């Protein structure tokens, strides 16, 4: 009895996907490689090869596989979207923009692919082209509030800019959604700041943050329970003597949002031996998956050494999509990694820890002025809540400072912008690297940057953002009252 070849291919394909879901990526990749030889004209096989290659950190295979899939089915939006992700990771800007053009051509009336292209132009440092595209979209879709916020974050708005009038009209529209009210008021606050209409900045910020809070309410008690539970679970944890750490070695750059972590990461990543990982979020996610999340995290000092070693192994696998095989060091500026510094110290002997501090008043102002992805940093909508989060962060950092060895380094943002060369040399040494002059030219590096600070990291270090809170001292009074007698530094 002969086997139906189509049925056999499907059976093997389904088995490969099942193995991938179970985490057996190597075996899944092997099966798909065999299928690519048997059925080279099936785009689904090449698509899945690309997705698994991404998880394994095989950049070349990811790119060649998704390119083959797109060649076979050039008008498939799913394949084009995956190709955008693959080539974005490789910082192939021209290819990504071409792929976006193909997505746009599939439906020229759709806003999403055009807006995403505009954002990518910003990521690639092409701010003029991004502005031109966003203004074109605004003209066609004057009621799409998010388009105004997207543009406002990366340009200096002039007093005579017609966008201001358009935003005011939209803000007063009776059927404006809660999300629309959030986006347009963040944009109007930025416009008022740019045009030095200082008295109108916070009224718009209050409206924007109230709308954001309605969409994603904060739960301070749950956050405190999570943070305290995770830190307590690491009490008494000793280093795992058999652990060799990760390859590449990790440099954790930690600080609150808007504290200067992006600037610090870009300086370190300008070194020839360093790849910037950005906010990978792999460490905490791996810890939660293995040991329990939040207050449910098990006491790690009671965990078998083998389980702790497994954490390092799993983390190293999770790093593959972000790493560059040619660079032995990878930065991770995931905000929440500070919660598990004890675990990271115990299991990763080759890791480094750098904590960035900034005047809490400047942090609070910048947090309150910015929109974060839905559901993240929910405390950002309330000035008093921001004060409590900053104090909690400082308390946990003080805890790690007391028990961790010399790998733990702290830096003040104000010191960095006041004396860039001295502090940059300090940073590079803290990362365990020899100095390279190019680290002072991080803004010339190019590449892909995904952060609210993307416009700033394309420029040399500047001091204008230091002590910006003084212009809004009366507006920040709820934060100052909540801060109380706690020292500012």
- Which tokens go with 119? 């954002």
Distance CA 86, CA 160 (A): 41
Q: What is the pLDDT of residue 201?
A: 98
pLDDT of 1 reads 45
Is the pTM of the predicted complex or chain greater than 0.75? Answer: yes
What span, in angstroms and rounded, lies between the C-alpha atoms of 271 and 437?
A: 9
Residues of the chain by 3-state class (helix, strand, coil), percent to 5: 65, 5, 35
Rounded to whole angstroms, the Cα distance separating 315 from 285 reads 9
Closest CA to 26 of 54, 46, 56: 56
Low-confidence ranges of the chain (pLDDT < 70): 1-3, 405, 445-466
**The pLDDT of residue 374:** 84
Contact 138, 162 (CB under 8 A): no
pLDDT computed for residue 57 by the predictor: 81
Residue entry with tokens 């805890």:
399
What's the confidence (pLDDT) of residue 3?
57
Question: Which pLDDT score, from 0 to 100, does residue 441 have?
Answer: 84
Mark 242-276 as b/e (b = at least 16 C-beta within 10 Å).
ebebbebbbbbbbbbbbbbbbbbbbbbbbbebbbb
Backbone angles phi, psi at 331, to 5 degrees: -90, 150
Residues 372 and 375: their CA atoms lie apart, in Å, by 8
- Report helix, strand or coil for 353: strand
In the chain, what's the furthest Cα-to-Cα distance? 84
Domains of the chain: 1-106 (1.25.40.10), 111-215 (1.25.40), 221-461 (3.40.50.300)
What dihedral angle (degrees, nearest 10) is formed by the CA atoms of 198, 200, 205, 211?
-170
**What pLDDT shows up at residue 375?**
84
């Amino acid at each position: 009895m002969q086997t139906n070849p189509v049925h056999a291919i499907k059976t093997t394909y389904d088995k490969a996907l099942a193995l991938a879901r179970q985490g057996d990526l190597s075996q899944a990749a092997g099966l798909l490689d065999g299928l690519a030889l048997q059925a080279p004209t099936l785009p689904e096989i090449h698509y899945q090869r690309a997705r698994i290659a991404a998880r394994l950190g095989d950049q070349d295979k990811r790119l060649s596989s998704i390119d083959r899939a797109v060649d076979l089915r050039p008008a498939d939006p799913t394949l084009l979207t995956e190709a955008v992700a693959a080539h974005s990771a490789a910082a192939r800007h021209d290819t990504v923009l071409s792929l976006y053009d193909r997505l746009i051509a599939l439906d020229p009336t759709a806003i999403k692919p055009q807006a995403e292209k505009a954002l990518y132009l910003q990521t690639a440092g092409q701010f003029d082209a991004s502005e031109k595209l966003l203004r074109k979209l605004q003209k066609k879709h004057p009621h799409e509030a998010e388009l105004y916020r997207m543009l406002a974050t990366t340009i200096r708005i002039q007093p005579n800019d017609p966008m201001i009038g358009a935003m005011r009209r939209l803000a007063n529209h009776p059927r404006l959604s809660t999300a629309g009210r959030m986006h347009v008021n963040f944009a109007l606050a930025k416009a008022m700041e740019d045009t030095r209409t200082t008295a109108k900045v916070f009224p718009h910020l209050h409206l924007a943050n109230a709308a954001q809070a309605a969409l994603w309410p904060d739960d301070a008690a749950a956050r405190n329970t999570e943070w305290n539970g995770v830190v307590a679970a690491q009490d008494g944890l000793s280093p795992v003597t058999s652990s060799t750490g990760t390859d590449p070695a990790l440099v954790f750059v930690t600080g609150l949002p808007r504290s200067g972590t992006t600037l610090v990461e870009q300086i370190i990543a300008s070194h020839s031996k360093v790849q910037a990982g950005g906010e990978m979020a792999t460490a905490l996610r791996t810890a939660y998956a293995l040991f329990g999340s939040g207050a449910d995290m098990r006491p790690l000092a009671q965990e078998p050494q083998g389980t702790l070693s497994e954490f390092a192994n799993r983390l190293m696998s999770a790093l593959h999509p972000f790493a560059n095989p040619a660079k032995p060091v990878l930065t991770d500026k995931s905000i929440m990694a500070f919660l598990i510094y004890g675990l990271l110290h115990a299991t990763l002997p080759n890791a480094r820890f750098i904590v960035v501090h900034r005047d809490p008043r400047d942090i609070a102002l910048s947090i309150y002025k910015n929109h974060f992805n839905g559901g993240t940093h929910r405390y950002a909508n309330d000035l008093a809540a921001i004060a409590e989060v900053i104090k909690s962060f400082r308390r946990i950092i003080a805890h790690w400072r007391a028990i961790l060895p010399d790998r733990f380094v702290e830096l003040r943002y104000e010191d960095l912008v006041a004396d860039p060369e001295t502090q940059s040399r300090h940073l590079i040494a803290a990362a365990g690297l020899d100095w390279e002059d190019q680290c002072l030219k991080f803004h010339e590096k190019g590449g892909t940057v995904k952060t609210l600070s993307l416009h700033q990291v394309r420029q040399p270090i500047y001091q204008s953002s230091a002590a910006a809170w003084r212009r809004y001292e009366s507006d920040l009074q709820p934060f100052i009252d909540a801060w109380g007698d706690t020292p500012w530094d």
